[in-house]
Structure 1
């Protein structure tokens, strides 16, 4: 009876290597997030600290004039062309998002190619080739929801980009 024993077998390896990764603000990162500069750009701000994109539809947003303090109850509110997601990397990526908050299901984000009629980014990723972008619009659907003045809809949105 003969037994074969592999000469290069191992159970585990730990190897330390140098890695250089820098953090960049949202406008300079591989996945760029930035306001469009268009008619609805007052709802999109930079936090002033790390270049993080913020969407603010609350009364604390001093950039919005006219006195509005939030979205209507029992209504569908759409804000077109709110911000841009751009792939500043070297290969195509699928961009999706996840949301958190007590009423996160009332808020959806749509890439320009879907214009409210297709799947939102929380259900289906959009593919961006290197150097390409998608303009993102927002839909808030409070119809049939038991929401009142001052209720928060969304806490945070996390974008993910996965290489194809």
Structure 2
């Protein structure tokens, strides 16, 4: 019988010690870790955005602030021949403006969202989207899927037919590119 009392006593002592010292649970932890994140210009970023350098390169510029892509179709970027904007009541298509390339480590779905007073009049198309099919990058569920290292060339269509826009009206202010990993 003494052995049972001894074992019960040791068990009680261990349980009491655990209660006195706690169970190892915690309420909060704060730990500092080194993480390096750097901004790269658009041509070097994980999602590369860069002008094609082709015949329509006058419309694609660098804004001078960190190498970001800018498409400029207004009077601030008049062409050498004197053009300084798109026509009212017309459809303007400019092919092969810029390239989107996945320089990351996983496949991504790329879409875009637009802002501006008349942003619905401007559509961005890839090589695989015909102008007449009514789709553009980011409309509905129409992202462009890019595997690692793959790219797509993007064109633009501005349709002002039947719209009440005139000289100096802003059509598009900015475009946000979204790249979401597919897996």
TM over 0.5: yes
- Structure 1 length normalisation: TM-score? 0.89
Equivalence for 1:97: 112
Say if 1:119 and 1:49 are closer, same or farther in 2 by CA, change over 3 A: same
TM-score, with length taken from structure 2: 0.80
Matches within 5 A, 1:1-164: 15-62=31-78, 64-116=79-131, 117=133, 119-123=135-139, 124-164=142-182
Which one has the bigger helix percentage?
Answer: 2
- Deviant stretches of 4+, over 2 Å: 7-18
Query: Aligned in 2, Cα 1:17/1:60: closer, same or farther, shift over 3 Å?
Result: same
Aligned-pair CA distance for 1:8: 8.8
What is the CA–CA distance in structure 2 between the aligned matches of 1:9 and 1:46, rounded to whole Å? 54
Unaligned runs of 5+ in 2: 1-22
Distance between the aligned counterparts of 1:44 and 1:157, measured in 2? Answer: 14
Q: Over residues 59-93 of structure 1, what are the superposed CA-to-partner deviations in whole Å (9 max), with x where a residue is unaligned?
A: 1115x211111111111110001100000011110
TM-aligned CA deviation for residue 16 of structure 1: 4.0
Kept after mapping to 2: 8 A contact 1:108/1:122: no
Matched positions, count: 157
CA distance in 2, matches of 1:50, 1:16: 29
Distance 1:20 1:68, change over 3 A: same
Distance 1:9 1:125, change over 3 A: farther
Q: Structure 1: any 5+ residue segments left out of the alignment?
A: 1-6
Name the Cα RMSD after superposition.
Answer: 1.8
